[in-house]
Amino acid sequence: MATLRFNSLTGTLEKNSTSFFSSNPRLCWAYFQCNNKGERRASRMTVKAMGAAKYKGTQMREKKLTEMIEKKVTEAKQVCEGDETSDECKVAWDEVEEVSQAKADLRLRLEIEKKDPLESFCQENPETEECKIYED
């Protein structure tokens, strides 16, 4: 009977890992730098580690979400300095949560579907700016 390795949910905090989910060990060795346990080591260069981004539109979305996360965290910290229980503070952190989740969803989608989310849109509209092929 074949044995199947289930890797655990993610890497550890100390490694600053971006792997949000268990990787297929073979995928791990083939595409990412892996330690000897087959766990994916990733740097903070999350754009590169994000899987199958092919079109410029997807790359633009990733970039925009990354920038928004940073911007909104700064805003939330400022807004909450006065009163942590104020409505403005709650809303500011809720926005941070929204964009963080949106980025994670995009990342998850790229990894699991293994194709660019704009694939079908770009087949119909290849001439748009969003559908230019993204070259690394």
Partner 1 sequence: MAVCPVYTTQSLNSTCSISTPSKTHFSSHHNHLVFYRTSKRTSKRGGSSSCVITCSAGDSQTVVIGLAADSGCGKSTFMRRLTSVFGGAAEPPKGGNPDSNTLISDMTTVICLDDYHSLDRTGRKEKGVTALDPRANDFDLMYEQVKALKSGIAVDKPIYNHVSGLLDPPELIKPPKILVIEGLHPMFDERVRDLLDFSIYLDISNEVKFAWKIQRDMAERGHSLESIKASIEARKPDFDAFIDPQKQYADAVIEVLPTQLIPDDNEGKVLRVRLIMKEGVEHFSPVYLFDEGSTISWIPCGRKLTCSYPGIKFSYGPDTYFGHEVSVLEMDGQFDRLDELIYVESHLSNLSTKFYGEVTQQMLKHADFPGSNNGTGLFQTIVGLKIRDLYEQITASKTAAPLQATKA
Cα distances (Å, whole numbers) of residue 105 to 33, 63, 75, 87, 94: 23, 14, 23, 27, 16
Closest CA to 62 of 107, 109, 18: 107
Residue span 38-77 as binding mask against partner 1, x where in contact by CB under 8 A, dash where not: ----x-x-x----------x---x--xxx--xxxxxx-xx
Of residues 93-112, those binding partner 1 (CB under 8 A): 93-105, 108-109, 111-112
- In the numeric block, the tokens 């403005």 are attached to 88
Q: Are the C-beta atoms of residues 49 and 18 closer than 8 Å to each other?
A: yes
Positions touching partner 1 (CB under 8 A) are: 1-10, 12-13, 16-18, 20-24, 27, 42, 44, 46, 57, 61, 64-66, 69-74, 76-77, 80, 84, 87-105, 108-109, 111-113, 117-118, 120-121, 123-124, 130
